[in-house]
Amino acid sequence: MEDFQLVVVAKRWVSPAATVHAPRSTVQSNVLLQRVPRPKRVPLARLALKLSVVTGQPLAHRHEIQIPPYPQKRRPPLLFVLDFLSFLLCKNHVNAIGHVDFDSRSRIEEQLPQTKHYTHGSYMSILSLCLGLSLPAKAQPVRLFATLTMARAKHSLPQGYAEDTSKGATLRFQDSLPRLPVPTLDETAARYLKSLRPLLTPAELKKTETAVQEFVKPGGIGSQLQEKLQAKAADPKTKNWIYEWWNDAAYLTYRDPVVPYVSYFYSHRDDRKRRDPAKRAAAISAAVLEFKKMVDQGSLEPEYMKKLPICMDSYQWMFNCSRVAARPADYPQKYSPDANKHIIVVRKNQFFKVLHEVNGKQLNPSELEQQFRRIYETAQYVAPVGALTSENRDVWTDARAVLLDASPKNKAVLEAIEGSSFVVCLDDAAPVTLEERAHAYWHGDGANRWYDKPLQFIINDNGTSGFMGEHSMMDGTPTHRLNDYVGDLIFNNKLDLSEVPVRSDLPEPQPLHFDITPAVQTEIDRAVADFKRVIGEHQLAVQAFQGYGKGLIKKFKCSPDAYVQMLIQLAYFKMYGKNRPTYESAATRRFQLGRTETCRTLSEDSANWCKVMADASVDDKTKVDLFHKAIKGHLEYITAASDGKGVDRHLFGLKKLLEPGQEVPAIYKDSAYAYSSSWYISSSQLSSEYFNGYGWSQVIDGGFGIAYMINEDSINFNIVSKGLGSDRMSFYLNEAAVDMRELLTPTLEAPKAKL
Query: How confident is the model over 177-212, as pLDDT tens digits?
Result: 999 999 999 999 999 999 999 999 999 999 999 999
Which region holds residue 444: left if phi is over 0, alpha if psi is between -120 and 50, else beta? Answer: left
Three-class SS string for 409-451?
A: HHHHHHHHHHCCCCEEEECCCCCCCHHHHHHHHHCCCCCCCCC
pLDDT of residue 751: 65
Residue type, 688: S
**Residue 176 pLDDT class (50, 70, 90 cuts):** very high
pLDDT of residue 752: 63
pLDDT digits 0-9 by tens, 366-378? 999 999 999 999 9
**Residues near 628 by Cβ (< 8 Å), separated by ≥ 6?**
558
pLDDT of residue 69: 39
CB-CB neighbours of 305 under 10 Å: 15
Model confidence at 4: pLDDT above 50 = no
- Rounded to an integer, the average pLDDT of 278-303 is 97
Among 26-40, 120-134, 674-688, the range scoring the smallest mean pLDDT is 26-40
Residue type, 364: N
Model confidence at 541: pLDDT above 80 = yes
**Residue 233 pLDDT class (50, 70, 90 cuts):** very high
CATH 3.30.559.70 spans which residues of the chain?
A: 263-536
pLDDT of residue 749: 79
* Nearest in space to 80 (alpha carbons), one of 44, 39, 40, 51: 51
C-alpha distances (whole Å) from 167 to each of 156, 173, 259, 313 are 20, 9, 36, 12
**CB neighbour burial string for 534-550, b if at least 16 within 10 angstroms, e if fewer:** bbeebbbbbbbbeebbb
pLDDT of residue 338: 96
Report the alpha-carbon distance of residue 528 to residue 187 in Å, rounded: 49
**Residue 39 pLDDT class (50, 70, 90 cuts):** very low
pLDDT of residue 156: 60
Which is more confidently placed, 343 or 107?
Answer: 343
- Catalytic, out of 268, 342, 471, 634: 471
Report the alpha-carbon distance of residue 115 to residue 108 in Å, rounded: 15
pLDDT of residue 159: 79
pLDDT of residue 290: 97
pLDDT of residue 130: 40
Which is more confidently placed, 223 or 42?
Answer: 223
Domain 263-536 CATH superfamily = Choline/Carnitine o-acyltransferase, domain 2 (3.30.559.70)
**Residue 351 pLDDT class (50, 70, 90 cuts):** very high
Catalytic (active site) residue 471:
yes
Model confidence at 418: pLDDT above 50 = yes
Which is more confidently placed, 572 or 152?
Answer: 572
**Residue 473 pLDDT class (50, 70, 90 cuts):** very high
pLDDT of residue 522: 98
Model confidence at 58: pLDDT above 90 = no
pLDDT digits 0-9 by tens, 669-714? 999 999 999 999 999 999 999 999 999 999 999 999 999 999 999 9
**Residue 40 pLDDT class (50, 70, 90 cuts):** very low
C-alpha distances (whole Å) from 716 to each of 452, 597, 602, 733 are 27, 24, 21, 10
Residue type, 620: D
**Residue 755 pLDDT class (50, 70, 90 cuts):** low
Model confidence at 127: pLDDT above 80 = no
- Could you give phi then psi for residue 439, rounded to 5 degrees? -60, -40
User: To 10 degrees, the CA torsion angle through 485, 486, 487, 489?
Assistant: 80
**Residues near 273 by Cβ (< 8 Å), separated by ≥ 6?**
none
CB 262 within 8 A of CB 472: yes
Which is more confidently placed, 165 or 669?
Answer: 669
Among 54-58, 474-478, 724-728, the range scoring the smallest mean pLDDT is 54-58
- Rounded to an integer, the average pLDDT of 323-332 is 98
Model confidence at 568: pLDDT above 70 = yes
**CB neighbour burial string for 281-297, b if at least 16 within 10 angstroms, e if fewer:** bbbbbbbbbbbbbbbbb
CB-CB neighbours of 271 under 10 Å: 19
Model confidence at 390: pLDDT above 70 = yes
- Rounded to an integer, the average pLDDT of 462-486 is 97
